[in-house]
Amino acid sequence: MGVPHGIVVLDKPVGITSRDAVDHACMRLKTREIGHCGTLDPLATGVLVLVIGRARRLQELLAKSRKVYIARIRLGATSVTDDAEGPISVREPTPAPPAEELVRTAAARFIGEIEQRPPRYSAVKVDGERLYDLARRGVGIDAPIRKVRVYDLQVTAYHWPDVEMTVTSAGGTYVRSIARDLGEMLGTGGHLAQLARTESGGFKQSEATTLEALGPEHVLPLENALRHFPRIDIAAAQAVRLGNGAVVRAEVPVQSLISEEPLFGWVNGKAVALLANAGPQRVRSQRLLITLPELEQLAEQEFAAGQQSSGSGASYSDGERR
């Protein structure tokens, strides 16, 4: 059996790392060619999208996709790890519980493009080393502050000392950092007590499979992960030209021009290339998602179908056909 190519939407349980989940998937699917699209800490549960085989070419892009979390933040105490896993220090004397209006006003300040300092215990690298490795050796180094985007943050419940919220953010945003910074803003201290990722890249938890049930039948086509991105439907012959480095004319979707979202080229319902704008209504291939021989085979099939039924299928010129 060959290496599968595609994605798996996994429901990660509490208590294991994302790396552990990937290792388990490697054993279940009998391949080492697996990566994940956005770390979930051992404390966290929920949607972890895995990329398998050639789908790993889009791992970095998919890791940046929109994610939705349900979080419970505990005020009145801080943590070395900014979550419930680390040694926790309770504030003494016990701070006065802030009013709900104050909590909601403070939480709203995290919406938009914000500056955030990742936790000391995180996978962020400083001078080539991951912060959690440095922290475990007793080398306390703060990560550089970076910009992240929070699309929405709604406080759904507040009962001192717990704040429950739903966070929608771009990849790379640490909800642990939001918990820590909210506590600092309120003057009470705070840390992340519980976290569940309910959506990642458009995939919801209801679509996810468990580690115990995972099998080859749960590997979805890569196209499933790209369903929310702008696309251009092109002829296979055009795709071959793209694969050979040519710039081709195409009707670029307005959505892609306005949002600057990644743009993909599709041939007969199959995603074949990540595209880049190359001038007015022109694109070039930024990364092929299938091999050039596979593109050429698609072009031959398309040409044969066109010969049998004139006027059907995609249209292209004789120059493109060559």
Annotated catalytic residue: which of 11, 41, 83, 181?
A: 41
| CA gap 218, 16 in Å, rounded | 21
- Contact between residue 91 and residue 76 where contact means Cβ atoms under 8 Å apart: yes
Distance separating alpha carbons of residues 263 and 232, to the nearest angstrom: 8
Q: Is 11 a catalytic residue?
A: no
Bridge partners of 249?
282
Task: Give yes or no for a contact between 3 and 53, defined as CB atoms under 8 angstroms apart.
Answer: yes
Query: Rounded distance, CA 70 to CA 205, Å?
Result: 12
Number of H helices, E strands in the chain: 9, 18
Contact 8, 49 (CB under 8 A): yes
Measured at the CA of 305, the angle between CA 303 and CA 308, to 5 degrees, comes to 110
Catalytic residue ranges: 41
